[in-house]
Structure 1
Amino acid sequence: MTDEEISENKRLVYTVPEAGEMLGLTRNASYEAAKRGDLPVIRIGKLIRVPKLAFRQMLDRAGAK
């Protein structure tokens, strides 16, 4: 495992565009999904982040339907 892979595994959140990219969304569509509540987000001041655990749980629920 490279240092970059280890660092990525330690991260607890994604940026909105990172999460959207994994879903095949554009940057704008990602922020719109976050605004609608379709992406689980937390706000830290002006920052908007997508918690990895909540994102994975969302995908698991969607896959179970």
Structure 2
Amino acid sequence: MALLISQLIEPVTQVEPISQHIGTFTSPVRLPVVLNILIGVGAVAASMERALRLRFGWLLDGKSG
């Protein structure tokens, strides 16, 4: 999530009115397009697996009992 946010903020801050008010942001991480696509596909697959199984997980769903 942090990787996605840092990569999305950079082009948004390049817009002239935004860069004049808050400045520009340069992402510290630059990934190739193929790696970005693989990360996205992995995130989609993980969220689909989680949604389709509908199982309880103590880490994601909070404490039990």
What is the TM-score with the length of structure 2 in the denominator?
0.30
Considering fraction of residues, name the structure with more strand: 1
What is the TM-score with the length of structure 1 in the denominator?
0.30
Considering fraction of residues, name the structure with more helix: 2
Rg larger in 1 or in 2? 2
